[in-house]
């Protein structure tokens, strides 16, 4: 398609597809671990088939495999936490909390790489906490137990996803290819295997009960995981850092909108203000030092 030749279109189309991820999870009538298995399995299989059809090399150096294994563990944890958070507090808030990974990455930059935080990032942290407080309320003890657990799982998702990105960044350090298709394909299949074992330990069935559920899971794996990730990865080298940051924001914004439109999530003016403040904080935290292009 000609329209996908435009890197900006690919970037925002990919962000829109990924924003549907929590919607698929909410729609299916399977346990959270099961939906994670099929997201990774369908998405990883599709990428592997693409690699085989295009006759690309599947070989990776041994050190990269070690880092991919670490990335797989973190991504499996990401899905495990996130899918439960979605069930407890809904697609919108769970995705917003998952994007707090920006602040985990900022902390990792300070601790691991000695990167001094910028003034905007220092402002972003208290802003994010204020926004979260306005959304969930400042009296933690008054919240229902499941809601509190959903918030905790959402924040743990942010930690797990940031750890995944750091591991994948290390795995891609000396990569020659522009796109991480091999790495994401192998990581996805490893994650599917890990979550399958987790499902067995939990006593959770991997049976897909209906054809409708199968369709939702295929959409999740193929559209959000496979196509969405590839569209974003292919566009990043050709767009400005500002546009990349806006795409990062588009995902939780759209997820929040889908939550309201598809699942009739009640929203108060205070929650909208909190979401706006939190999204502003995420944007400030994700902006690079040089904002050129």
Which of 33-37, 38-42, 98-102, 187-191 bottoms out in mean pLDDT, i.e. has the lowest?
98-102
Residue 38 has pLDDT above 80, yes or no: yes
In a domain, 128, yes or no: yes
pLDDT tier, 79 (very low <50, low <70, confident <90, very high otherwise): very high
Which of 40-44, 83-87, 136-140, 286-290 bottoms out in mean pLDDT, i.e. has the lowest?
286-290
Token pair for residue 154? 């959402």
In a domain, 108, yes or no: yes
Q: What would the pLDDT profile of 225-284 be if each residue is shown by its tens digit?
A: 999 988 888 887 677 766 776 777 788 889 989 998 999 888 889 989 999 998 898 888
Q: Helix crossing, 91-98 with 241-263: angle to 10°?
A: 160
What pLDDT is attached to residue 292? 41
Domain that holds residue 37: 2-286
In a domain, 165, yes or no: yes
What pLDDT is attached to residue 41? 97
Token pair for residue 261? 């439109």
How many domains is the chain partitioned into structurally?
Answer: 1
pLDDT tier, 189 (very low <50, low <70, confident <90, very high otherwise): very high
In a domain, 291, yes or no: no
Task: Compute the distance between CA of residue 287 and CA of residue 243 in angstroms, rounded to an integer.
Answer: 10
Q: What would the pLDDT profile of 98-153 be if each residue is shown by its tens digit?
A: 989 888 888 888 888 787 878 887 888 888 889 888 888 878 888 899 999 999 99
Task: Compute the distance between CA of residue 165 and CA of residue 278 in angstroms, rounded to an integer.
Answer: 21
């Amino acid at each position: 398609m000609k329209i996908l030749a435009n890197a900006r279109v690919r970037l925002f189309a990919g962000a829109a597809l990924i924003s549907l991820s929590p919607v698929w999870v909410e729609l299916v009538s399977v346990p959270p671990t099961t939906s994670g298995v099929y997201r990774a399995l369908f998405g990883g299989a599709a990428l592997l088939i693409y690699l085989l059809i295009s006759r690309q090399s599947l070989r990776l150096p041994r050190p990269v495999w070690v880092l991919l294994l670490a990335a797989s563990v973190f991504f499996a944890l990401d899905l495990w936490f996130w899918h439960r958070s979605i069930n407890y507090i809904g697609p919108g808030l769970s995705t917003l909390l998952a994007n707090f990974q920006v602040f985990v990455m900022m902390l990792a930059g300070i601790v691991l790489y000695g990167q001094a935080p910028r003034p905007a990032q220092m402002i972003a942290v208290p802003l994010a906490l204020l926004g979260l407080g306005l959304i969930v309320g400042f009296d933690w003890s008054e919240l229902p137990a499941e809601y509190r657990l959903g918030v905790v799982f959402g924040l743990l998702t942010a930690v797990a996803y940031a750890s995944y990105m750091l591991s994948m960044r290390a795995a891609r350090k000396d990569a020659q290819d522009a796109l991480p298709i091999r790495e994401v394909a192998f990581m996805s299949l490893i994650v599917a295997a890990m979550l399958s074992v987790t499902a067995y330990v939990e006593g959770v069935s991997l049976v897909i009960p209906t054809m409708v559920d199968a369709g939702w899971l295929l959409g999740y794996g193929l559209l959000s995981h496979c196509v969405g990730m590839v569209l974003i990865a292919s566009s990043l080298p050709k767009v400005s850092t500002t546009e990349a940051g806006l795409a990062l924001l588009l995902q939780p914004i759209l997820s929040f909108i889908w939550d309201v439109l598809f699942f009739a999530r009640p929203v108060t003016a205070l929650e909208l203000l909190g979401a706006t403040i939190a999204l502003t904080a995420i944007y400030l935290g994700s902006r690079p030092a040089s904002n050129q292009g």
